A and B are shown apart, each in its own frame.
Chain A
Amino acid sequence: MTATPGASPTIVLVGHGMVGQRFLEALAERGLTATHRVVVLCEEPRPAYDRVQLTSYFSGKTPEDLSLTDTAFIEQHGIELHVGDPAESVDRAARTVTARSGLVVGYDVLVLATGSYPFVPPVPNKDAEGCFVYRTIEDLLAIEEYAGTRATVGAVVGGGLLGLEAAGALKGLGLTSHIVEFAPRLMPVQVDEGGGAALLRTIEEMGLTVHTGVGTQEIVVGEDGAVTGMKLSDGSELATDMVVFSAGVRPRDQLARDCGLAVGERGGITVDERCRTVTDPRVFAIGECALAADGRVYGLVAPGYEQAETAAAAIAADGGGEKSFTGADLSTKLKLLGVDVASFGDAHGTTEDCLDVVYSDSRAGLYKKLVIGRDGTLLGGILVGDAEAYGTLRAFTGSVPPVSPEALVLPAGAGAPAQLGPSALPDDAVICSCHNVTKGTIRGAVTEHRCTTVPEVKKCTKAGTGCGSCVKVLGQLVNAELEASGVEVDKGLCGCFAQTREELYEIVLALRITSYRDLLDRHGREAARGGDGCEVCKPAVGSIIASLAPAIGASNYVLDGEQAALQDTNDHFLANLQKNGSYSVVPRIPGGEIAPEKLIVIGEIARDFGLYTKITGGQRIDMFGARVEQLPLIWARLVDAGFESGHAYGKSLRTVKSCVGQTWCRYGVQDSVRMAIDLELRYRGLRSPHKLKSAVSGCQRECAEARSKDFGVIATANGWNLYVGGNGGATPRHADLLAQDLSDAELVRLIDRFLMFYIRTADRLERTSTWLERIPGGLDHVRDVVVHDSLGICDELEALMAAHVSHYRDEWAETINDPERLARFVSFVNAPDTPDPVVAFVPERDQIKPDLPLLDIGRRPADEILEGSATR
């Protein structure tokens, strides 16, 4: 079958990888998709995805999360995408490409973006069962399956950037992991000897075994033909169940060779500065398959993106494009969990007459080197153990930094660490090297395009959407710019307070303020002092005081004294207000486990009070339609039967859902029900910026949906994995893995810290998901703080939680035993025995529902309500 080119000229792209996709975007941006027919041949079974973030699959990203494109983009630009159909040959004379399916496409311009293949050293048995490479999603799926069923030990051949990532991944899969590197140190390309030594220590501390200076001679196989070990060049043998080769990549240039295009001596399709092949002006090559005009093949994504832009520009200008590609920066930052390694610019000091500034502390595993030119220009550097400064330093590369180089490498605390904010950077400094975005462009996004948040700037400029290493600097820049451009960013909580919720938390804690009025009169905005506050800050401050109650000496009964006036109506009546003014009652059912006797009690109470019952989405039972004056009567019976408040009304812990787990389920590996109950009882009643939800699953099948929770726990063979920042609701988000294989005690300790850190720093009504995305440094920062105690506050966080746990009392039990507190549970102050006549019900499906016509009398039409208010 032949697809004949129509009237419009045809561009054929071979390879839909990272660079191929970027090329399509560049075509679209230049309007070329409108004037050209664009055909893409994609070998892999899925469209382009983020290969750089490949390893994050093991920390929970799905293939969909990693996708770089979507059907909307492809359709909108009329791109003909053939997934799973690689190009097999090119006929340059006839100008056609033939795909495996038999499809033949004619082209006016052909662009090769075929990437690389992993190099596998030619050792005996290299293709045995249990041997893998690490390049595609399919590779990872295969590794995961094998590791899960057939391996307990894994070895990675190659101690470079990717090898370390692969070894970290194997470890994460629960294997004992080895790294075999031929060179005398790890990451030989990026770091020097000193850096390699510091890196080695860190990697070994993580529990990986490193063998440097030895080569792999043979893969040893058992009788079934599967891997059992490997023979090393020093004569030793290493027992292992699987081997992952990560010994470098080679350009995929076979297609080009076969059709007579020139390739380099060591591979790579030879192109000029416009990315046009030197052999055929109609053919371009970009990305890892190309041998650039400077004689190099680039194995990083940023140069590939540059090449994609260059080729698109050349095609757009029909030969006279301005843009050219003459070389690129090789900066890298290791993404491996827990290891900070970065190298940038001329890291090895190859420039003539350059000088090194080195700081090294082998005890702490720190090594930092800067390469400085004769005139003081920062040329490059290596950071091991602490790569905080990477973003800023990289951006300063090529210029003379405004402070002395020594100050830049000294650790915080030693001497005066340089606070080199991004404001010191020139406008043409590249902040995001993945997408080549300068500081000037980012500033423009704020000042001209009116972006006010990092996500907006990301969308507008693409900065930060590659490897993510620049996001921190990006955040600092955006804030600095907002402030500078006088966009009065009032970060205040509301009209009464100029402080954020986080700042108010610190004030309340430090000054032990137990009264809202005190706080308002002493720390509120001038105009608000002495007033009654507002509906925004009252519950927010009420929640802060309640969270800190034991620590600051406030009553932790939320309805005492002034606290009563701060609570939303739900908290005030310890129940959830429904549309007709009635309330719903939700007793706590920890972990969703409930004995038949208790089920019967709930049934009897609901029957006796005529309540509507429903199983909630939170694994418990809700009883609807109670009038205020019925609440104490209902609760007297519930408390008597051993129930307590479920806090369905509070910005506090809701439920910890569970699956049935190891006790009953054939797949379960831990007792998820017991853990869910323990966690629910530990954190019950904890007031927080927004509601908190959790779940515990007994195995990876995840029946409890833990990864949609603020903190989710999934059992592993060795303990528990803790995920944080998940959310269902309007903007669903999968939780991120915070730490793995935790013991019971480690799990609880981490959750204690995590929750208290969130409560301390989140905004009002900010779920953990949005908080995690907002705070500078994101998940990495949170992990530093709660796992590595980088701020030194973990003891305090744990103590605050301990105080909460030991002071917990059931609000409903306290309420029904106190006549004064009970007095408020009436419909009318002057007629305590009269029920509110507006609260009336009609039957539906054997139960009741609110009498809606009664509510409608004299009520505003629904559409006006929506327009007028609901969004406030």
Chain B
Amino acid sequence: MTLALETTDLKVRLRLDDGWFTVCDLSTLIPGRGVAALLPDGRQVAVFADRAGRLHAIDNRDPFTGAAVLSRGLTGTHQGRPFVASPLLKQRFDLESGRCLDDETVRVTAYEVEAA
């Protein structure tokens, strides 16, 4: 597996209500591809890295189908902003705000995420 990033010890962390939560090594993230993480309260988060190395995290549950699959969607750039398209019915979600680009009434939770 080839990775563009210098990644040795860095961890991917999410900001939850009660502090930072470590998800995985930065090196496990393939740019453009997501992973799912399980939070202590049972919620699921989809975590992504884009090709510039920026990290993004949103809720993993696809609000249109109920399945926990957003981490398995294809990512892209729309008008300069990163998004993921649900692998089920293909709605796109802005990775920074969680807003659905194809239905303004829908939004999923977006998480603050960092590599540290």
B18 to chain A, nearest CB (A): 17
CB within 8 Å of B: which of A538-566? 538-539, 560-562, 564-566
Residue interface bits A810-833, CB-to-B below 8 A is 1, else 0: 000000000010010001111100
B79 to chain A, nearest CB (A): 9
Known: A538-B76, A869-B102. A580 touches B67 (CB 8 A): yes
**A565, B69: Cβ atoms closer than 8 Å:** no
**A569, B73: Cβ atoms closer than 8 Å:** yes
**B92, A535: Cβ atoms closer than 8 Å:** yes
B2 within 8 A of A: yes
**B89, A857: Cβ atoms closer than 8 Å:** no
Q: Report the separation of the CA atoms of residues A823 and B28 in the bound assembly, to the nearest whole angstrom.
A: 9
A572 within 8 A of B: yes
Known: A836-B68, A859-B66. A535 touches B85 (CB 8 A): yes
CB within 8 Å of A: which of B15-74? 22-24, 28, 30-33, 35-38, 42, 44, 47, 50-51, 61, 63-69, 72-74
A542 to chain B, nearest CB (A): 10
**B91, A869: Cβ atoms closer than 8 Å:** yes
Q: Report the separation of the CA atoms of residues A560 and B1 in the bound assembly, to the nearest whole angstrom.
A: 7
A723 to chain B, nearest CB (A): 33
A532 within 8 A of B: yes
Known: A868-B103, A872-B90. A837 touches B42 (CB 8 A): yes
**Which residues of chain A are near B75, meaning CB under 8 Å?**
532, 535, 565
- With beta carbons under 8 angstroms apart, the residue of A531, A539, A569 that contacts B72 is A569
**B38, A830: Cβ atoms closer than 8 Å:** yes
CB within 8 Å of B: which of A542-599? 560-562, 564-566, 568-570, 572-573, 577, 579-581
A260 to chain B, nearest CB (A): 72
Q: Report the separation of the CA atoms of residues A509 and B30 in the bound assembly, to the nearest whole angstrom.
A: 26
**A579, B61: Cβ atoms closer than 8 Å:** no
B82 within 8 A of A: yes
- With beta carbons under 8 angstroms apart, the residue of A569, A572, A830, A872 that contacts B91 is A872
**Which residues of chain B are near A570, meaning CB under 8 Å?**
87
**B102, A868: Cβ atoms closer than 8 Å:** yes
Q: Report the separation of the CA atoms of residues A580 and B32 in the bound assembly, to the nearest whole angstrom.
A: 23
How many B residues have CB within 8 A of the partner chain? 46
CB within 8 Å of A: which of B70-109? 72-78, 80, 82, 85, 87-92, 102-103, 106
The closest CB in chain A to the CB of B92 belongs to A535
**A533, B76: Cβ atoms closer than 8 Å:** yes
**A531, B66: Cβ atoms closer than 8 Å:** no
**A561, B63: Cβ atoms closer than 8 Å:** no
CB within 8 Å of B: which of A822-866? 823, 827-831, 834, 836-838, 854-860, 864-865
**B88, A579: Cβ atoms closer than 8 Å:** yes
B21 to chain A, nearest CB (A): 9
Q: Report the separation of the CA atoms of residues A532 and B36 in the bound assembly, to the nearest whole angstrom.
A: 20
- With beta carbons under 8 angstroms apart, the residue of A565, A568, A838 that contacts B61 is A838
**A532, B32: Cβ atoms closer than 8 Å:** yes
- With beta carbons under 8 angstroms apart, the residue of B67, B74, B90 that contacts A579 is B67
**Number of residue pairs spanning A and B whose beta carbons lie under 8 angstroms apart:** 139
**Which residues of chain B are near A9, meaning CB under 8 Å?**
none
**Which residues of chain B are near A561, meaning CB under 8 Å?**
1-2
Residue interface bits A724-757, CB-to-B below 8 A is 1, else 0: 0000000000000000000000000000000000
- With beta carbons under 8 angstroms apart, the residue of B37, B67, B85, B103 that contacts A838 is B67
How many A residues have CB within 8 A of the partner chain? 50
A863 to chain B, nearest CB (A): 12
**Which residues of chain B are near A564, meaning CB under 8 Å?**
30, 33
Q: Report the separation of the CA atoms of residues A564 and B30 in the bound assembly, to the nearest whole angstrom.
A: 8
**A539, B103: Cβ atoms closer than 8 Å:** no
A665 within 8 A of B: no
Among A572, A855, A868, A870, the most chain B Cβ lie within 10 Å of the Cβ of A868
Known: A829-B36, A829-B37, A868-B102. A577 touches B74 (CB 8 A): no
**Which residues of chain B are near A581, meaning CB under 8 Å?**
67-69
A31 to chain B, nearest CB (A): 45
- Interface on chain A toward B: helix, strand, loop, or mixed SS? loop
The closest CB in chain B to the CB of A531 belongs to B77
**A577, B76: Cβ atoms closer than 8 Å:** no
Known: A532-B32, A532-B50, A855-B67. A568 touches B1 (CB 8 A): no
A796 to chain B, nearest CB (A): 31
Q: Report the separation of the CA atoms of residues A532 and B75 in the bound assembly, to the nearest whole angstrom.
A: 7
A823 to chain B, nearest CB (A): 8
Known: A859-B65, A869-B103. A538 touches B74 (CB 8 A): yes
**B61, A528: Cβ atoms closer than 8 Å:** no
**B88, A860: Cβ atoms closer than 8 Å:** no
Known: A533-B77, A568-B74. A827 touches B36 (CB 8 A): yes
Among A533, A580, A829, A868, the most chain B Cβ lie within 10 Å of the Cβ of A829
**B1, A820: Cβ atoms closer than 8 Å:** yes
**Which residues of chain B are near A440, meaning CB under 8 Å?**
none
**B63, A859: Cβ atoms closer than 8 Å:** yes
**A830, B89: Cβ atoms closer than 8 Å:** no
**Which residues of chain B are near A859, meaning CB under 8 Å?**
63-66
**Which residues of chain B are near A184, meaning CB under 8 Å?**
none
A673 to chain B, nearest CB (A): 36
**A534, B78: Cβ atoms closer than 8 Å:** yes
Q: Report the separation of the CA atoms of residues A528 and B92 in the bound assembly, to the nearest whole angstrom.
A: 17
A517 within 8 A of B: yes
The closest CB in chain A to the CB of B66 belongs to A855
Q: Report the separation of the CA atoms of residues A35 and B30 in the bound assembly, to the nearest whole angstrom.
A: 72
**A532, B64: Cβ atoms closer than 8 Å:** no
> 20 other contacts beyond A538-B32, A830-B22, with CB at 8 A cut-off?
A532-B32, A532-B75, A534-B77, A534-B85, A562-B32, A564-B30, A564-B33, A566-B74, A569-B87, A570-B87, A827-B38, A828-B37, A829-B28, A854-B66, A855-B66, A858-B66, A865-B65, A868-B103, A869-B102, A872-B90
A sample of 30 inter-chain contacts (CB < 8 A) reads: A495-B78, A531-B76, A531-B77, A531-B80, A533-B76, A534-B74, A535-B75, A535-B85, A535-B90, A535-B92, A565-B30, A565-B74, A566-B74, A569-B74, A572-B72, A577-B88, A579-B88, A827-B38, A828-B37, A831-B38, A834-B38, A836-B36, A838-B44, A859-B65, A868-B64, A868-B91, A869-B89, A869-B91, A872-B91, A872-B102
A-to-B contact residues, CB < 8 Å: 495-496, 517, 528, 531-535, 538-539, 560-562, 564-566, 568-570, 572-573, 577, 579-581, 820, 823, 827-831, 834, 836-838, 854-860, 864-865, 868-870, 872
**What 10 A-B pairs are tightest by C-beta distance, nearest first?**
A565-B32, A855-B66, A531-B77, A534-B76, A569-B87, A581-B67, A859-B66, A535-B85, A535-B74, A829-B35
